[in-house]
Amino acid sequence: MRFYFLAGCLLTLWGAVAQSHHSVFITELMPDPSPSIGLPGYEWIEIRNGSGQPLQLQQWRVGTSTSLSGPLPFYSLAPDSMLILCSATALPFLALHGKALAVSSFPALDNEGTTVWLRHPTGRVIHAVAYEKSWYKNQWKAEGGWSIEMIDWRWPCAGKNNWKASVQDKGGTPGEINSVQDLRTTLMIPTALYSYASAVNKICIQFSGSIDSGWSVQTDGYQLSRGVKIVSAKTIDLSHSLLELSVDQPLQTDSVYGLSWTGIKTCYSDSRGAAGQLKTGRASPGKSMDVILNELLFNPRSGGADFIECFNNSSHILDLSNLYLTNRQPGGGLGTFIRLSQATRLLFPGEYYAFSSDPALIMQQYLVSSPTHLLQTNGFPSLPDETGHVVLLNHQGEILDELQYSEDWHFALLQNKEGISLERINPKERTQWANNWHSAAKTEGFATPARKNSQQRFNEVADLSFRVDPPLFTPNLDGLDDVCTIYYQTAHPGTLASVQILDPAGRLLRVLAARSLLGTQGYWYWDGRDGLGNLLTSGNYLLVLTTYTLQGVIRHYRQGIALWR
């Protein structure tokens, strides 16, 4: 009997050795417990046993990017149960909310974000969460007192899309079912976010979530352009979201390589994502005017945030982690340096990237067609509403571009400049020239973060050109020519336009734009309705476009449009 009892104990103690990746996982984090909403003012993490069998935690450890806990004591975690891990000081208080276990040298959880992981006694990482402050998805709760909860524990490797701030009134659910739990979510296949050369013969791909570490070593799933062959592949981070590819020849600096793959396999399912492709390459140091200041929002709407946009104006590849923003002080010195990206991130020729201390606010108020090109910075240069001085420089301290802006550079007829960005017109013209900057167009939402400026132009065009497409349209919801689009292009920033639809007798039916500030190009839609939303009958209608400039020049343009139902 003693032999079988001992064998059973050994089986229980070392059963954890056979545990697979994500058999136990982190489901809730409290990185910033202050100010307390209702829970004890201590940091903690919550774990869940998803293995379907009892799990012995003795000798397991909790770690972060900067520290490692002592070994966990003897504790058997039942299947589908949860456990709070915390410091010995916090244990008496957190034990009142659920099953809790004290961990010696419990690692500190950085408020801004870090990687937290669970390590098996054999040294294998069973689960890792690389959280960031943005995972709260709620600016108020991100300031403290609220936990971050996993939404669907079936996908523990899904990353930020599977986490958000607790909605429990006391600020979290330690030891309980998460308040945001939703087991109806579809499988969250990770996507490839960006790629870069980490060495002369190595390429890294950053994924949005964990990928299957066994599948990722199969090199036949990836292809690289320019005749470069991939010879090996492996994940190199604890969360299995960063893949490193080794190649058979040196990668050339400033050469853009096309990287493609047949499909991505998640770490927790046999399902695969779609095939895809990215640009990759090796960056060069960059010199003056290779990357330029291209757009600034320095007077945001109430509750909004500033942003600065940069544009790669060269044929070189730049690394954003080697670029910095700062202010020029009144005495001529430079202020605090703000790194554009904490991780390697490539800025390819002709690309735009925008930077803000709070990208979520920017995306709430403006169209951001490329969210991955809007990055959060740790701190941000001061951008006063009236006038300011911004400097862009590389890691050698060499100034790449510099701008002393003024609110007087905005369009003169604007009565309220709040929430309107200042855009560079011609990237090839000098930076410190008021005539090379203009207010963003109303037709583009008054700002264009991380995309082409509404006022950007390189070459002169006629005063105004426009076309109607199609001139005969059929708004019958059959998917063919249901709307009429009026495209325009103008040479001079600061042009205002009014667009009206008239019937054959000259009666006004619809106003598509009323003295709107135009960009250098854009469009309006007409859906065949009048100003009250009524469907108009088949027939001929007249488009009247009137433009106004600061110089007092007024021009009228007319074109017929046929509507057929």
pTM: 0.69
pLDDT, tens digit, 9 for 90 and up, residues 144-158: 999 999 999 988 877
Torsion of CA 421, 424, 430, 435, to 10 degrees: -80
CA-derived radius of gyration, the chain: 29
Domain 464-563 falls under CATH 2.60.40.4070: yes
CB 400 within 8 A of CB 291: yes
CA distance 502 to 493: 27
Strand, coil or helix: what is 213?
coil
Say which CATH topology domain 291-444 has.
Immunoglobulin-like (2.60.40)
Given a cut of 70, is residue 20 above it in pLDDT?
no
State the Cα–Cα distance between residues 264 and 271, nearest whole angstrom.
8
Pairing mode, if any, of strands 276-280 and 257-261?
antiparallel
- Give dist(CA 202, CA 234) in Å, integer: 11
Q: State pLDDT tens for residues 430-453.
A: 999 998 999 999 889 999 999 999
> Using one digit for the tens of pLDDT, what is the confidence trace for 280-327?
999 998 889 999 999 999 999 999 999 999 999 999 999 999 999 999
207-243 confidence digits (pLDDT tens): 887 787 667 778 888 899 999 999 999 888 887 889 9
Q: Domain ranges for the chain, please list them.
A: 14-165, 192-280, 291-444, 464-563
Is the Cβ–Cβ distance between 297 and 307 less than 8 Å?
Answer: yes
In this chain, the answer to whether the domains covering 14-165 and 291-444 adopt an identical fold is yes
Report the alpha-carbon distance of residue 419 to residue 447 in Å, rounded.
8
CATH of domain 14-165: 2.60.40.1260
Q: Say which CATH architecture domain 192-280 belongs to.
A: Sandwich (2.60)
For residues 133 and 146, the answer to whether their CB atoms sit within 8 Å is: no
* Distance, CA of 370 to CA of 315 (rounded, Å): 21
Give the pairing of strands 163-165 and 192-199: unpaired
